[in-house]
Amino acid sequence: MRSSSNEGEILRVKLSEKADKAKSSLVAVETTVFIHGLPKEESVSLFDKLNNMENVVVVGVLNGEIVVGMEKEEILKMMEEGAVKVGTRELPYVISKGMNGATTVSSTLRIAELVGIKVVATGGIGGVHRNNKDISQDLIELSRNRKILVSSGVKSILDVEATFELLETLEIVAVGYKTDEFPIFYSRKSGMRLNMTVEAPSEIVDIFEEMSEMRMGSSLLVLNPIDEEYEIPKEEVERILEKIEKELLEKRIRGKEVTPYMLKRLFQESKGRTLEANLKLLSDNVLLASEIAKELSKRNHS
């Protein structure tokens, strides 16, 4: 691991050798999924799988330093010591205090902007919570940062319809990858239709290049539905969520504690199927993002 030559210009950023050599074709992945989203054994296994990919880098904050291309020992250190969940808003605080920070989609997009990475992959993005009082920083960052983000739609625990509408309001270009239906994480179908679809990574890069030509400031959101074999139908997820929402009210769980609690209870109520789905869709999204990044890099160097 070595320091970036631009360290003084872009905060304290440490680039791995992989990140420094292949920046134009890289895919950035957040750390929250490893630290807060999965059990330790599955998390480490997934990290090993993604870290072995030639153009994938995991992004986090370790002891107040942004690390682009985290190594296994650094992830294990973060797991052992703990790390706060950090969006774009919290980045300056965590860095100035020398803390460990597990990046979300929003902060990963912001760090990608700092170091010149164009493609980011995640499982599902945040959005409008069902009480309509909490809107994820993910959407705000997507609206002001021109990146390609591959995800399986929004998390099922959110107000899907309100999030779908807000994507349009914020001028975030959302395209379905081999689907004309808005996916919702565990489910391929939401009942909401997409009017923009693509069939290949090359089409995604075409759109991104047009956005750049038009100087659009927002991101291109690529919606990649979960594999049918791992899908959990929307109706089943909704039944479980109704039960969990009552628990949230009874236990007065609010803010950033809502999502981790709901994901944990979904795992319990689905008898582990949500974990299998989560691992599958995240891996598939990173693979698609990798293909997109390679196509983008090939054009930039042609």
SS3 content of the chain, % helix, strand, coil (to 5): 50, 15, 35
Mean pLDDT per 10-residue section of the chain, whose length is 302 residues: 43 81 87 90 95 94 96 96 96 96 97 95 91 85 97 88 95 97 94 96 97 96 97 90 89 78 86 92 97 92 61
Residue 42 is among the residues annotated as catalytic for this protein: no
Q: Please answer whether residues 182 and 223 qualify as being in contact, where contact means their C-beta atoms are separated by less than 8 angstroms.
A: yes
Query: One of 85, 147, 155, 294 is an active-site residue; which one?
Result: 155
Query: One of 14, 18, 30, 90 is an active-site residue; which one?
Result: 30
CA angle (211, 176, 189) in 5-degree steps:
150
Give the global pTM.
0.90
Q: Please answer whether residues 114 and 13 qualify as being in contact, where contact means their C-beta atoms are separated by less than 8 angstroms.
A: yes
Q: Please answer whether residues 260 and 126 qualify as being in contact, where contact means their C-beta atoms are separated by less than 8 angstroms.
A: no
Distance, CA of 271 to CA of 82 (rounded, Å): 27
Distance, CA of 266 to CA of 276 (rounded, Å): 12
Q: What is the pLDDT of residue 10?
A: 47
Give pLDDT tens digits for 65-102: 999 999 999 999 999 999 999 999 999 999 999 999 99
Which domains, and CATH codes, for the chain?
1-117 (3.40.1790.10), 124-302 (3.40.1790.10)
Residue 155 is among the residues annotated as catalytic for this protein: yes
Q: What is the pLDDT of residue 18?
A: 84
Q: What is the pLDDT of residue 264?
A: 83
